[in-house]
Amino acid sequence: MISLILRRLGTAIPVLLAVITLTFVMVHSAPGGPFDEEKAVSPEVLVKLNERYNLNEPLVVQYFDYLGNVLQGDFGPSFRYPSRSVTELISIGLPITFELALYAILFALMLGIIAGVISSLRPNTAYDYVPMTIAMAGICIPSIVLGPSLTLIFGIQLNWLPVTGWGDIPGDKVLPTITLGTAYAAYCARLTRGGMLEILNQDFIRTARAKGLSEFRVVVVHALRGGLTPVIAFLGPAMAGLLAGSFVVETIFGIPGLGRFYVEAAFNRDYTMILGTSIFFSCLIISFNLLSDLVAASLNPKLRDQ
Amino acid sequence: MKKINIASLLLLVFLSACGESESKVDSALTEQVLYFGNGTEPKDLDPHTVTGVPESHILMALLEGLVMRHPEGLDPLPAVAESWTISEDGKTYIFTLRENAIWSNGDQVTASDFVWAWERMLTPSLGSKYPDMLYDVVNAEEFNKGIIKDFSKVGVKSLGTKILSVRLKNPAPYFLGLLAHYTTRPVHRPTIEKFGEIDTIGSKWTRPGNFVGNGPFTLEDWQLNKVLKVKKNPLYWDADKVRLNGIHFFPVDNATREDLMFRNGQLHVTSTVPLEKIEVYSKQYPDLIHIDPYFGTYYLRVNVKKAPFDNKLVRKALSLSINRKEIVEKVAKGGQIPAFSFTPPDPNSYFPPTTLEYDPVLAQSLLKEAGVSQEKLPAFEYLYNTSEGHQKLAQAFQQMWKQNLNIDVELANTDWKVYLSRQNIGDYTIARAGWIGDYPDPKTFLDMMVSDRGNNQTGWSNYEYDNLLIKAAQSPSQEERFKHFYKAEQILMDELPIIPIYTYTRVYMLNQDVKGWSPNLLDSHPYQFVYLER
């Protein structure tokens, strides 16, 4: 187990280095710079600004300076928000994005597992087709369509829920959670159905039924434990995907999370912020994948020795 | 079927927790809190380093200058300065500051606060974005450009705790107007020095808890990308008149979301209206939609260094073949006014010359006269930044030029920073542009086209034009200045390095509870006059 962790961490370093290098080269080669503004900045001011952000050095020097700073945990000041450091911006955005992702995954698990179990119990009947068709639709509808539609129905037409914000008005977390969680709920439903179908056909289930156990005990106590393995394996990548992919939902609902900072940084040519968030997201994705590998390994002894 | 049942059940559980509550706008009536849609997230709150409109809205609440703008007109009203005298030659101003003007921490607002704030603003190493606002002051430009190192040579002096004297190099009748701009407002020296040097960019003095201001409101809370709250400042000299208890500024950069927020009762005033809704709302909610004239011009920049656009006849032909009336009525559709001059008419009764009527026949003959035929004019590029509105206008120009002059235009749509950078380095042929005046005077527009100004960007340079602007600066009377401006504008409209299209309007939604909000050219609404009542 320890060697697995060490091996994975060993591959993580070159991956991170590649991410930093590629992002660095890409942001600096993008046309337009952070100081291009509508009110043209005078050449004298530009010199001062370049000095402050270390942009007057050759690119190679800047790159190694940056690497050195990152190793010390310093992502530098943001260009867009001169009075804030990238680390501060990440620490503002992350808890919000994390909370949103957590609600979304809980919503997805709850809805997905229930729907998946129901359809696996009576496969190839209406009880199977209807939830699975809805699940397919859930996977296909992008959040950029689902979010505004939900807003229009529940926010404007019915006036039940606020259309924007995060933690200001009661109920404002409902629509973003549903919007972000739906696609994952649909995946969960399909994975649960697949896992359950495989388990329900096995001998120990027949034995359990033969013992005269109630259907509820058979399904919930015996079958579900094995039937959820694919869903658990999916959790790691799903959480990483939710964290890194929440910017669409954050933009639709005006949630001040990390995803929005990330996208805005690209438009603003906020070099340090783009680099900082890219590195941060890479670390996050690497750790969640490692975590999900570890869970899978602990469930399946065969994987441990590989 | 069960999935649907479960889903709706789940939703009901969520909903029962919240129910149908009173909207924020309703409860604001008793709380007297204004919910303000403020466009983008402010970069910072340092009046010397920011440039944006959202920042200006917040700084109007937090800091107060020597004068403020009258909410209905644009005339200067006494603010920190209780009164002032102007010498006969128009070059020396003596301001008497209010005895009861104090900072939000209880310190007196003194004349030396202004002197220090202006020193900071002009300090070259701070890299402030609006130093030219004070270039009329004796030696200010020289100090800002590093020619003079000693600030005591600059024409601003404290003649006592509450007496400030300002010496100008030219009589500048618009000078009081500049003093209402946020960049000339005072800043609290001990606070700034607590967190850094005079030239530290981005120190923590602008954070809630640290910020010390002298405006009608104080900074209460600032959550990035979420909300910035200000609350009434009980120490403000005119606090009795301030009826709002607070303002919440929401950074909503998406017009559709802002529109939803307004309809959901979460905002009193929006920063814009989605393009496709302007027409609908004008019919449906004529009481809520506001289309106010705005001191800004939508125009086209022409790169005069590129043939054949180095020939003014070609530029004129381009301009004459644009049907501006049709553009504003059928494309822009926001109540804009066709513009035939760079300066919008009537800031303090200045009426610029207008000679650019739509005339495709004349346009064709000018093109012939210039010796430009189809073969000689390959398709050229029209540069604009990504936005639905700019795109529609670009297509309209493309069609008009094709139809009237048989010229092919390629549309080049780039993101904001690329668009700015390409104009800055002159890598374009024709580009859209917009300019909003900073103060109510033609100078804020015409100065931009002086040779080699940072925002000229067309490569155009005209000796006579430059000279007229210098003469205008030296004129003692407004009448004479305007005469020079008029002539300068005539040259500009004859040469056409820029082609004006329309005068902007500011289109926004305003809740009817908001009272004391008067439309004006600079979209400036001092909050001490605003209150909520149904």
Residue in chain B nearest A127 by alpha carbon = B1
Q: What is the ipTM of this complex?
A: 0.83
Cβ neighbours of B6 in A, within 8 Å: 111, 114-115
Instruction: Tell me the pLDDT of chain A averaged across its residues.
Output: 86
Per-residue pLDDT of chain B (534 residues; tens, 9 = 90+): 444 444 454 444 444 444 445 788 999 999 999 999 998 899 999 999 888 889 999 999 999 999 998 888 778 899 999 999 999 988 999 999 999 999 999 999 999 999 999 999 999 888 888 888 999 999 999 999 889 999 999 999 999 999 999 999 988 888 998 999 999 999 999 999 999 999 888 889 999 999 999 999 999 999 998 899 999 999 999 999 999 999 999 998 888 889 988 998 899 999 999 988 998 999 999 999 999 889 999 999 999 998 889 999 999 999 999 999 999 999 988 889 999 999 998 767 788 877 678 899 999 999 888 888 766 677 889 999 988 889 999 999 999 999 998 889 999 999 888 999 899 888 999 999 999 888 888 999 999 999 988 888 999 999 999 999 999 988 888 889 999 999 999 999 999 999 999 999 999 999 999 999 988 888 889 999 999 998
* pLDDT for A214: 83
Contact call for residues B526 and B362 (beta carbons, < 8 A): no
CA distance B192 to B200: 9
The CA distance from B441 to the nearest CA of chain A, in Å, is 18
* pLDDT for B270: 96
Of B227, B41, B224, residue with least CA distance to A164: B227
- For chain A, give the percent of residues with pLDDT over 90: 22
Contact call for residues A50 and A63 (beta carbons, < 8 A): no
The CA distance from A158 to the nearest CA of chain B, in Å, is 9
Contact call for residues A138 and A183 (beta carbons, < 8 A): yes
* pLDDT for A303: 61
CA distance A102 to A105: 5
CA distance B348 to A116: 72
B15 touches chain A (CB under 8 A): yes
* pLDDT for B17: 44
Dump strand ranges (E) for B233-310: 246-250, 289-302
> Which residue in B124, B145, B202 is closest to A82 by CB distance?
B202
* pLDDT for B355: 67
The CA distance from A178 to the nearest CA of chain B, in Å, is 9
| Interstrand relation of B156-158 and B92-97 (parallel, antiparallel or unpaired) | unpaired
Beta-carbon separation of A159 and B264 below 8 A: yes
CA distance B155 to A29: 45
CA distance B74 to A144: 43
CA distance B236 to B61: 11
B37 sits in which H/E element = strand B33-37
Q: Which tens digit of pLDDT belongs to each residue from B177-200?
A: 899 999 999 999 999 999 999 988
Residues in a beta bridge with B503: B297, B337
* pLDDT for A305: 55
Beta-carbon separation of B44 and A48 below 8 A: no
3-class SS letters over chain A: CHHHHHHHHHHHHHHHHHHHHHHHHHHHHCCCCCCCCCCCCCHHHHHHHHHHCCCCCCHHHHHHHHHHHHHCCCCCECCCCCCCEHHHHHHHHHHHHHHHHHHHHHHHHHHHHHHHHHHHHCCCCHHHHHHHHHHHHHHHCCHHHHHHHHHHHHHHHCCCCCCCCCCCCCCCCHHHHHHHHHHHHHHHHHHHHHHHHHHHCCHHHHHHHHCCCCHHHHHHHHHHHHHCHHHHHHHHHHHHHHHHHCHHHHHHHCCCCHHHHHHHHHHHCCHHHHHHHHHHHHHHHHHHHHHHHHHHHHHCHHHHCC
Contact call for residues B454 and A41 (beta carbons, < 8 A): yes
Beta-carbon separation of B124 and A44 below 8 A: yes
Q: Which tens digit of pLDDT belongs to each residue from A238-294?
A: 888 888 778 889 988 888 899 888 888 988 899 999 999 999 988 888 888 888 778
* pLDDT for B253: 83
Q: Which tens digit of pLDDT belongs to each residue from A112-122?
A: 999 998 888 88
Provide the 10 A C-beta neighbour count for residue B153: 12
CA distance B76 to B78: 7
Residue position matching structure tokens 């093109």: B367
Interval A287-303 mean pLDDT: 75
CA distance B65 to B524: 14
Decide: pTM greater than 0.90: no
Q: Which tens digit of pLDDT belongs to each residue from A44-79?
A: 778 878 887 888 888 999 999 999 999 888 898 898
CA distance B83 to B40: 36
Cβ neighbours of B46 in A, within 8 Å: 83
Kindly list the distances between the CA atom of residue B372 and the CA atoms of A212, B160, B397, B460, B511, in Å, as whole numbers in the listed order: 96, 67, 19, 21, 54
Beta-carbon separation of B125 and A48 below 8 A: yes
CA distance B430 to B415: 16
Residue in chain A nearest B251 by alpha carbon = A254
Interacting residues of B187 by C-beta distance below 8 A, sequence separation 6+: B46, B47, B48, B63, B113, B116, B117, B120
Beta-carbon separation of B415 and A267 below 8 A: yes
